[in-house]
Every structure is written in C-alpha cells, then in structure tokens.
Structure 1
Amino acid sequence: MTPEAITVLGLGNLGRAVAQAFLRAGHPTAVWNRSAAKASGLAAAVAATPAEAVAASGLVVVAVLDNQAAQQVLHGVDVRGRALVNLTSGTPEEARNLARWAAENGADYLHGAVYAVPQTIGTDASAINYSGSPAVHERWSEQLALLGKVTFLGEDAGRASGYDVAILSGMYGLLGGFLHAAALARAGGIKATDLTSMLLSWLTDMHPALHTFAEEIDSGSYAGGESSLAMNQSGLALLIRATESQGVPFAALDSLKDLVDRQVADGHGEESLARAVESFARG
C-alpha cells in the first residue's frame, strides 16, 4: 500500500519531530512554518501557506505554540473533509472550541496531549492521549501510532486536555516539592544528590496511598482516616515552622495547610487527608 500524504503545521521542536516520524515511515509529508527556514534538512514538501499545506493531505497535524496560534494558523483555511489532529497544548474548553470550529467548517477534530520530549517522538518512550472524533482515531490509527503509544479517551474533545492539565499540575507540584526539599537540604548542609535517593524511596512507598486517596475522592467517603486531617494539620504546622526557621519558607505548604484547616474547622479532623480535595470545590 502506498503511504498516504500527511501535513504538519508548525515546525518547532515538537512539530519537526512529528514530521520526521512520518517521513521515516515513508509518508509524503507537507509542512508549513512561519519561518520556512525551520524546514531545512527535512525531505518534505514545504508549503508557502497553511492553506496550501492543508490542501495536500487528508490528515493535518497541528503542532504550534498555543491555542491562539492554532486558531490563527487555521483561520480562513478550507479544512473541509480533512482530519485535524491538534497536538497543541491548551485548556479543555479551548480544545472543545476548536472542535466546534472544525465541525462548523466541515472537518473532523481530534485533540492530542503529548507525554514525551521531542527527541523521543516515534519511540516506545512517547505516549499521546487523544480525544474527539472516533472516526479520525480509527481511520488514522496506524499513522498516529508512528508518533507513540496511542490512548483514546472518548468523544469529548476536551477530555485529553482535562487529563493533561491535571497530570501537569501533579508534575509541577512534584517538581516544586523536590526543589524545596533540595533547598531545605542545602540549608542543613546536605547535598541534594545525597537526599534524592532517600526521597525517591519514600515517594515510591507512598504510591499505594495515592490509590487509596483516589478511591476515597471518587466515592466521597473519607471515613478511613489512617492519615487524618488533624494529624496532617499538626505535621504541616511543624514543617512550616521548620522551613521558616531555616530561611526557606514555601508558600505551597501554607496553601496546603489552608485546605486542611478548612476541613478541620468544619469538623472533619478525624477523616482522611484526601478530604482536603473538597476545599478546592469551595474555592
């Protein structure tokens, strides 16, 4: 079977890696970028405009800076009959808005959230969650698999982004916690490299607790209380005092304690720490 033509809009680090993955698999690939110089070294057809690039292929992959850039690139382009796969990061509602725009303009839309650094695109270390058009997912599954492991999350175009912002929030919380831990270690004359192995061991041991918390949050039942709000309120107060005394306070700890304090004030001190998630719902 002759490999089908594919278009890639945007040749930043991600877009270039995506185009290279399709080219390695033998797909005729049309590319467009605001700066045509970014296409240097690619054995691709370089289009002068987004419209020219879109007209060249049935599958159009968008990999630009942000949602605003994606809207600008696609504005005024005839996308009728095209499968649009948008790998641009954004909010769930931004993805849904682009899906509505695509439908109004005769295209099918699939949104992707990428879990890979560009150099791992097309390898086993790359994974992409998709949501939106089942038809696009099914029709182009073989080509999408060239970029990394594919997980389809359903018809809601915003669902992949919903997972993405939650996962990234957890990631940045972890990174922020690590950087603060390193600062505390340094203040105590401890090397970050000496701390990290112990920290990783402790975090690994905590994995089962996260599954337990998740089950409690989904059920709305927090009666277990093995790691109670009251106990963690006391622990956080101690930790905040310790960090302040070492000259490295961290506002995230104060924010977490505030979430816990609200629940304790409402009479839930003996319930699970997971109940602190309800403080978010209260704003």
Structure 2
Amino acid sequence: MRPIYLYAPALKKYETEYMSSEQGWRIVSVTGNACAFNCKHCNRRILESMEDASTPVKLEMEIRKSLSEGHKGLILSGGSTGRGEVPIWKFSAVLKKYKDKMTFIAHTGVVRSKEIAMKFKEAGVKIALLDMVGDEDTIKDTLGQPFTVEDYLNSFKLLKKAGLMVVPHVIVGLSKKGIESELNALDMLRGVSPDAVIVVGLMPLSSSNSFRQPEPEDMITVMKKARDSFSVPVMLGCARPRGRRYLEVEKFAVDYELDGIAFPEEETINYALSKRQVVFNSSCCANVVFDILGVV
C-alpha cells in the first residue's frame, strides 16, 4: 500500500498522542469577515475562525509570525467579491516578497477571466482551492450566486492554464438533490486534470434547519468514486462531520488507499499505523501534491 499522509493545520484545536494543530499552518482571511455572498449553509461564519489579514500590514504580520515559528506555508482565504473571486491578488506586493520563502495555498473563489487567474499566479500562489458544485440549483438556491456549473469548471481550467496547481473540493451533502450532484461533479472534474481531489462533508454553520450532515455511507460512496476516477492524490479533507459514527469513513480512507486524512481521530491513526506507512504533517492537506513529490 502507498503511504498515507495525516494532516493537522491550525484550522481548529486538535491534539492527539501523535500530532497537534498548535504547530500547524495558519489560515488567514484577506477580507476579514466580509463576503459579497451569504451562502445559506455558512452565513459568513467560517470567516470568523480565520486570522484577520484584511490589510497589507496585517497580512505581512501573519506571514512573519508564521515564518518565525518555522512554518513553511500559509493558507490564504477570505470572502468573495461580487465577481466571484477572493481578492487575494490585491495583496501581491506583500506576497511577492515572501513567495520564495513559503508556500501559499489559496481559496480562490470563482475565477472568470484569464487576467484574474494570472494575477493569482503572479502573486505567488502555488495551489488553488475551490469547491466544485455539480448542479445549478445548489449554486443559485444554497450559495445565492449568479454563477453556473460551467463557471466553476472553467475556474479550474483558467487557473491551471495560468500555471497553478488546482485542488478541487467536493462537498458531500451540499446539494439537496443528494449525492448524484457530487458524483456528477467528480465526472466533470476529469476534464480539468486536477492535481489532487479533496472530499469533504457538509457542516452547516447557520441556524437553518434545512441542512443536514451527510450520512457516512454517502461520504464513502463519493470517496470510492473519487479514488476510482483519479490517479492523483485523493484526500479526506478537514471540513466534515465528526463522531463515532463517522469513524468508518476514516477507516475506509485507510483501507481504500486514499492518500491522506486531515484531523484523523486517534483511533484512526492507530488503525492506519497497523495498515500503512504513516506520514504526519502540519500543513494544509492540499499540500499533498508537494509532499508526495518531496518538495515544498
């Protein structure tokens, strides 16, 4: 079996006998708590957990802090503009100063022009992250966005053409149509040639009762499809439901030769150690594309 990479970035408090998020890569928001959209499952709450890097001075402070603590990378995120993209490229002057000292991984948002895609590249972003949504109704009704499935798909193509590595996330449970939407998203991603694929599960952050966490069986079905469809790294990402009933999801990732898991339960770590070579890592799990190559 191939090695399995286990990740613990500083996205939340996490500690086991083997690894802790205390020394993990940080995530910052270049827009603070601001976002042009108010997705029903999020209500902008995800931004509240990120460090505020909404000015060049604040961003540079976060970069210097990460470097002083020995981190080799930083996760750049934030809310979207009305055009769709997260305006990370506006901080190019700061990012360019440090792009040779650390890896910048960015949630790009929807990118609709080659000019914007190239700005991410010029700013020093190496890996682009974006959810891939498999149906129009979810984009319109849940995300409240004026975009299309094709806009999402073209984002990856534009970023790839600009020279970035692209790592799409597929959110199991986001669509009210069921996992057919997520399975369709995986089918469409074949035409993008992603550098890795990350499967996550819906974790409703709003008070709405219209969203439910996906069943473990649904997570496993999508993970199996992803592994069967792609030879590039396939990961079980950080955003997903927890608890004992989801242990089978993590153990499936071990048994079905997924390449990594973010924030695994301690029981899963022990299980993985009995089955495969385990590599512990403090970076974002999207960095698996470099970890497997043995470069930063």
Structure with bigger RCO (C-alpha 8 Å, 6+ apart): 2
Q: Provide TM-score, normalisation by structure 1.
A: 0.31
Higher helix share: 1
Q: Provide TM-score, normalisation by structure 2.
A: 0.30
Rg larger in structure = 1
